[in-house]
Amino acid sequence: MSIDDNGLTSHREHSDQSNVTSLHKGASPPVDEQNITSRESAVVDDEIAVRDREKLASSREDAAHLRENAIGLREDAAHMRERTALAREREARVRESAVTLREQEICGPGPSSDHSIVLRQANEHLVIAAIESQKLVEIVQTAKMELDHLAHHDVLTDLPNRILLLDRLTQAIELARRQGKQLAVMFLDLDHFKYINDSLGHTVGDLLLQSIAHLLVACVRNSDTVSRQGGDEFVLLLPSIEHVNDAAHCAQKIITAFTLPHSIDQHNLHISVSIGVSIYPDDGLDAETLIKSADTAMYHAKEGGRENFKFFKQEMNDRAVQRQSVEASLRLALERQEFVLYYQPKVNLRSGAIVGCEALIRWQHPERGLLSPEQFVSIAEDCGLILPIGRWVLREACLQALAWRQAGLRPIVVAVNTSALELRAMDFLENIRATLVETSMEPRYLELELTESVLMQDAESSNSALLALHDLGAKLALDDFGTGYSSLSYLRRFPIDTLKIDQSFVNHITSNKDDATIVCSVVSLGKSLNKRVIAEGVETQEQYEFLLAQECDEGQGFYLSRPVVAAALAALLQSGVSLPVYDGAA
């Protein structure tokens, strides 16, 4: 018996033995030997019977074993079925709980489970985080849009700025090029806007700029662009014009619109504007050139008396180039000592005595000859060279006064012109003090002449500088009186010693009643305020007599004396003669 791989008992050996037994049964024995053979066969039969019994017993045992095995197998199978059922149950439970967990993860936990609570809270946080991150994305997007707007718009007026204008202008040029059309660029600069800031403050100035922005937008079409370049400058783009007259019409419309007052902070403010116009393609093929051409034309509008518009012309560029060349050689003029001073006497009208002189700069240009201040001072102001030039004038005039005194001449007041840039210079006062010390000049013989506009620029700091100057003992004259802002309040505010009546009033005092009235009023105002009054541009005997009759203190002009070189003035002082006009004048 063996146990097969399945554990079941094998009975093959028994079968083999039965086969051997059946081979012996097939042979027949002899007769003598029959008894023996019969006994033997009986024995054999007994043996066989025994063996058969043994076999039977063994078979019974085997059967019993088989039965036992079968029972065992049935039991095993039952156990296996049980185990499988249990395994299936467990698997089902695991699946169920997995499904529940997944459901909880998806749908949210049940209220009683800690795990569920944690999961629910985590879910809530996830949802909140997702909402907040969405909000953040929206905030970032809004901030980006705002940044983009800021980058392309002017903060004060919210008009497109230079960057956006350049972009739109470049696109408009491209379109005009393809369609073979014209477009116009207008450069606008407000006239005397500084006065508004200086007299009413920057806040009012800002409000005025905003009001002007609205006005400009209202003056043009929706398809046009109104941009602010900064300060009091605006640039307009008219992207499609049929004819240059369209641009002229628009410019005139704007100038007319500006005649209405702006109601700001309880003030009715009047301001005018100067406009330069350039046309594509005539005055430039790209955005920068067109803006530059319009800017150049605007300067010419200013020069032409402001409150008007000018179209760009090529000659304007030529003048700009000439201006640049003047600027370049101005820089060398100081080094090369090409400047000279002329002195125009100021005469006491009653006595005829020379009581002072105004130092007037000339430029002895190596190629262009003797240049008057009008030919280079504004350029020097624009490029800042007026500061070293102004210092040179002051020192030279004081040195000349010293030379006259050293020559034994009686001292006279020497006046120098002062620009806004000089007055605002950090070292303005210090330079005057140092020059007075260096030239041993008594401050009372130095007079600074300033125009109203110079005074009104940055009036606060001007006033403190001028008060310090007054304390020092120097004099202050108000030049071109009556032509500027004409706010009489500064006569109280600033320590002014002298009023210089502008020659435009003096020119016609004998023919124009209004001018005569104005001059008389200024003389009388000066007397009331205890200020010296001097008339500029006295060119005729009639004018001189009129002024004398009005008891104007002093006069200055060709009738009395042209500006003369230092030696000539020394001669005049020496002789004591002031009238008539000196022949050797420049």
Ligand X SMILES: Nc1nc2c(ncn2[C@@H]2O[C@H](COP(=O)(O)OP(=O)(O)OP(=O)(O)O)[C@@H](O)[C@H]2O)c(=O)[nH]1
**Residues lying near ligand X in the complex (CB under 6 A):** 156, 189-194, 197, 202, 205-206, 209, 231-232, 302, 306
Neighbours of 570 (CB within 10 A): 18
Residue 203 C-beta: closest distance to ligand X, Å? 8
Count the helix, strand and coil residues of the chain and give each as a percent rounded to the nearest 5.
60, 15, 25
Which residue is closest to ligand X by CB? 205
Residue 195 C-beta: closest distance to ligand X, Å? 6
Q: Which residue in the block uniquely carries the two structure tokens 């050293």?
A: 406
What span, in angstroms and rounded, lies between the C-alpha atoms of 521 and 486?
A: 13
> By C-beta, is 62 or 206 nearer to ligand X?
206
CB within 8 Å of 481: residues ≥ 6 apart? 452, 499, 500, 501, 502, 522
User: What letter represents residue 528's amino acid?
Assistant: S
> By C-beta, is 120 or 302 nearer to ligand X?
302
> By C-beta, is 232 or 396 nearer to ligand X?
232
> By C-beta, is 168 or 194 nearer to ligand X?
194
Q: Which residue in the block uniquely carries the two structure tokens 């060398």?
A: 332
* Cis, peptide link before residue 580, omega less than 30° from 0: yes
Q: CA nearest 492: which of 455, 520, 457? A: 455
User: What letter represents residue 339's amino acid?
Assistant: F
> By C-beta, is 316 or 534 nearer to ligand X?
316
Q: Which residue in the block uniquely carries the two structure tokens 């802002």?
A: 485
> By C-beta, is 195 or 339 nearer to ligand X?
195
What span, in angstroms and rounded, lies between the C-alpha atoms of 248 and 256?
A: 12
DSSP of 93-112:
HHHHHHHHHHHHHHH---TT
Residue 200 C-beta: closest distance to ligand X, Å? 9
Burial (CB count <10 Å: 0-12, 13-18, 19+), residue 404: buried
Residue 295 C-beta: closest distance to ligand X, Å? 12
Q: DSSP label at 559?
A: T
Residue 187 C-beta: closest distance to ligand X, Å? 12
Contacts of 541-544 with C-beta under 8 Å, sequence gap 24+, read 542/510, 543/506, 543/509, 543/510, 544/349
Q: Which residue in the block uniquely carries the two structure tokens 């000049």?
A: 441
Residue 485 C-beta: closest distance to ligand X, Å? 10
> By C-beta, is 303 or 514 nearer to ligand X?
303
User: What letter represents residue 553's amino acid?
Assistant: D
Neighbours of 342 (CB within 10 A): 21
> By C-beta, is 267 or 302 nearer to ligand X?
302
What span, in angstroms and rounded, lies between the C-alpha atoms of 498 and 525?
A: 11
> By C-beta, is 264 or 436 nearer to ligand X?
264
Cβ-contact 69, 8 below 8 angstroms: yes
> By C-beta, is 182 or 451 nearer to ligand X?
451
Residue 189 C-beta: closest distance to ligand X, Å? 5
Residue 191 C-beta: closest distance to ligand X, Å? 4
What span, in angstroms and rounded, lies between the C-alpha atoms of 485 and 382?
A: 22
Angstrom distances, CA of residue 586 to CA of 173, 344, 357: 53, 10, 15
- Residues 189-210: b if buried by 16+ CB within 10 A, e if exposed: bbbebbbbbbbbeeebbebbbb
Cβ-contact 535, 560 below 8 angstroms: no
> By C-beta, is 456 or 560 nearer to ligand X?
456
Q: For the chain, state the CA radius of gyration.
A: 58
> By C-beta, is 194 or 475 nearer to ligand X?
194
Q: CA nearest 21: which of 3, 5, 40, 44? A: 44
> By C-beta, is 34 or 461 nearer to ligand X?
461
Strands 554-556 and 339-348: antiparallel
Strands 532-536 and 554-556: parallel
> Residue 419 CA to chain centroid, in angstroms?
30
Residue 423 C-beta: closest distance to ligand X, Å? 14
> By C-beta, is 206 or 327 nearer to ligand X?
206
Residue 404 C-beta: closest distance to ligand X, Å? 38
Residue 554 C-beta: closest distance to ligand X, Å? 30
What span, in angstroms and rounded, lies between the C-alpha atoms of 563 and 358?
A: 8
Residue 294 C-beta: closest distance to ligand X, Å? 15
> By C-beta, is 152 or 302 nearer to ligand X?
302
Residue 373 C-beta: closest distance to ligand X, Å? 18
Residue 202 C-beta: closest distance to ligand X, Å? 4
Residue 362 C-beta: closest distance to ligand X, Å? 25
Residue 566 token pair: 């230092």
